[in-house]
Chain A
Amino acid sequence: MHLIPDTWPHFHLLVSVFPSIGLIFAIGLFIAAMVTKNVQMQRVGLFVFGGLAVLGVPTLFSGIWSQSAMTRPGIPEDAGGGHMLWAYFALFFLLVTGVLALWVLWKAMKSGTGPSWNMQNLVLGLSLFTLLNMMIVGDMGWKISHQELKIPFVYGDTSQVWSHIHIILNHFPTVGYVFGLFFFIWGLTAKNEVMERSALVVFVACAVLGASTYVTGASAMWALTSPPIPAPLGPISQARINAHRDFALLTLFGLAFTGVTAWIELYRYRYQKRFSRITLYVILALAVITLLIMAETGHRGGLINHPEIRTAGDTMTRDPSTFLSPWIENKINNIIYFVPWQTVHFFGYTAVFATVLLVSLRIFGVWKSMPFSAVHRIVPLGVFGVAANIFTGMLMLMADTSRYVNEAAFWPKMFFLPIGAIAVLYFSLSDRLWATKAGEDAPMDAKWIAALVLFSWTIVIMGGRLLPYLFV
């Protein structure tokens, strides 16, 4: 583990993701607190905005002090100019959001009531505007060190767009877990079930996004190695990539176990209106272990293309063929392993689509004679179908990553997969939908979500089928 950075650029990489990517989770959890009208969670949400504003200070100074260190070959001298200028705007709005949030929190604590609804909306609006700025700053920041993202696409190669998406996406599970754990531990301590549920949703969403992260990572590998990035930016070490993706595989398992267990607790809560305390602590342990694995994965990923954070102690320059991932790739390429797992994949999506179709049709108004709670009983089948298919899908991908990622039907499949998988959570979370009794019409918003879920999974399955036939 290399969590204590040696240099300012390294420190900046670690801290800057919290006021940017972290802000997305802070906003999401704050919206959850507002929707559920949970006063305690609203206060914690305001506190988090204040904390992010405080983190803006080390982000700013580590950024300023990193400038002198970012003079390695391949990076233009003025590469950080736009990032720096826009960062002042973004950090100013972050500061305003944080100070306002803390003031609203202080007023609420003093009066002993919940934070004012108007003020919460003001904080939310400001934070969304800050996020918009942070997205621009973040993207400019990534492009300082990652000059390879500017390499134009050449027909037949893997596009650097994948590397770009991977750089953005890989921060979601890592930073999301930090926020999820913060709210989860607070919820466990204060016995606040809304906070516990919200954290469980974060864990499930991160598990789904973990799969997308892995897939885009595999694509990025090809974009960076075939053909090799020319000097002075390259060549990129295959051994470093393999060291990273071996840990990425472990991360996927950690995310999957935590995510599925978290979902089971969300399901239990739906029926029993309470959690199993033991399982909650099991999820806590799983989440902490997963976060530790992810931290190492992230560090190894950073080492691939950040020479400025490498230290003399790094020993990831051994023979690329000695890692676990190439071994799995070699095995799964054999028909005797590929075909059985592909067959499981086919059964998996029939289970997913059957579940999605059944639940959606009830929401649309077919079988109104059934209460929604009765139809909801089938949802575990779909969830285990998704889990099985992420596992088998990853295995199939590993058989021939460069071919899959360069097929025209792959990106729509990968775009709609997380949307379909995360939107399904609505079926288990919405109290209004749950209350739909026999003979009653489901709420209109549920119908829109059902349509989105059905459409997403249709594209995922069609994309899979079209994979061998459509090329970029």
Chain B
Amino acid sequence: MAFLATLKLWAMTVAVVAVVAALVVFAVNRLGKVADNGERS
């Protein structure tokens, strides 16, 4: 049971961090394009 509980905690942590990281990467990448467009014009 202890192993399952640990696994569940790891899985939940990885999932939450992955979702937030994906959102941040998307937003930073999108703003990078905004900056690129500005520097080209």
Asked whether, in the complex, the Cβ of A341 is within 8 Å of the Cβ of B16, the reply is: yes
Asked whether, in the complex, the Cβ of B13 is within 8 Å of the Cβ of A272, the reply is: no
Q: A268-B34, A377-B32 are in contact. Are A339 and B24 (CB under 8 A)?
A: no
Q: Which residues of A contact B34 (CB under 8 A)?
A: 264, 267-268, 271-272
Q: Which residues of B contact A271 (CB under 8 A)?
A: 34-35, 37-39
Asked whether, in the complex, the Cβ of B32 is within 8 Å of the Cβ of A336, the reply is: no
How extensive is the interface on chain A, given as a class?
Answer: 20 to 34
DSSP majority for the B interface? Answer: helix
Contact of B31 among A264, A337, A388 (CB under 8 A): A264
Q: A340-B17, A347-B17 are in contact. Are A377 and B35 (CB under 8 A)?
A: yes
- Scoring A residues 377 to 392 as 1 if CB is less than 8 Å from chain B, else 0, what string do you get? 1001100110010000
Bound Cα distance A336, B17 (Å): 13
Give the Cβ gap from B14 to chain A, nearest Cβ, in Å: 8
Chain B, range 5-39, C-beta contacts under 8 Å to A: 8-9, 12-13, 15-17, 20-21, 23-24, 27-28, 31-32, 34-35, 37-39
Give the Cβ gap from A36 to chain B, nearest Cβ, in Å: 20
Bound Cα distance A97, B23 (Å): 48
Bound Cα distance A388, B5 (Å): 26
Asked whether, in the complex, the Cβ of A388 is within 8 Å of the Cβ of B9, the reply is: no
Asked whether, in the complex, the Cβ of B9 is within 8 Å of the Cβ of A335, the reply is: yes
Q: Which residues of B contact A343 (CB under 8 A)?
A: 13, 16-17
- In the complex, number of A-B residue pairs with CB atoms less than 8 Å apart: 58
DSSP majority for the A interface? Answer: helix
Interface centre among B8, B13, B32, B41, by most chain A C-beta atoms within 10 angstroms, is B13
Bound Cα distance A58, B12 (Å): 56
Interface centre among A267, A271, A347, A377, by most chain B C-beta atoms within 10 angstroms, is A271
Contact of A339 among B9, B23, B28, B38 (CB under 8 A): B9
A168 touches B (CB below 8 Å): no
Asked whether, in the complex, the Cβ of A273 is within 8 Å of the Cβ of B16, the reply is: no
Q: Which residues of B contact A354 (CB under 8 A)?
A: none
Bound Cα distance A364, B9 (Å): 42
A-B contact pairs, 5 of them (CB 8 A): A271-B38, A336-B12, A339-B9, A341-B16, A373-B39
Q: A272-B41, A388-B24 are in contact. Are A340 and B31 (CB under 8 A)?
A: no
Q: Which residues of A contact B41 (CB under 8 A)?
A: 272
Q: A340-B16, A343-B16 are in contact. Are A380 and B31 (CB under 8 A)?
A: yes
Asked whether, in the complex, the Cβ of B17 is within 8 Å of the Cβ of A272, the reply is: no
Asked whether, in the complex, the Cβ of B8 is within 8 Å of the Cβ of A384, the reply is: no
Q: Which residues of A contact B28 (CB under 8 A)?
A: 380-381, 384
Q: Which residues of A contact B37 (CB under 8 A)?
A: 271-272
- Least CB separation from A346: chain B residue: B17
Supplied contacts A336-B9, A339-B12, A377-B32, 4 more A-B pairs, CB within 8 Å: A271-B35, A347-B17, A347-B21, A380-B28
- Least CB separation from A269: chain B residue: B38
7 closest A-B pairs (Cβ-Cβ)?
A271-B38, A340-B16, A272-B38, A340-B13, A271-B35, A380-B31, A384-B24
- Least CB separation from B20: chain A residue: A344
Q: Which residues of B contact A388 (CB under 8 A)?
A: 20, 24
Contact of A268 among B12, B23, B38 (CB under 8 A): B38
Q: Which residues of B contact A243 (CB under 8 A)?
A: none
- Least CB separation from B13: chain A residue: A340
- Least CB separation from B8: chain A residue: A336
- Scoring A residues 251 to 280 as 1 if CB is less than 8 Å from chain B, else 0, what string do you get? 000000000000010011011110000000
A351 touches B (CB below 8 Å): yes
- Least CB separation from A274: chain B residue: B38
Q: A271-B39, A272-B38, A351-B24 are in contact. Are A339 and B31 (CB under 8 A)?
A: no
Bound Cα distance A373, B38 (Å): 11
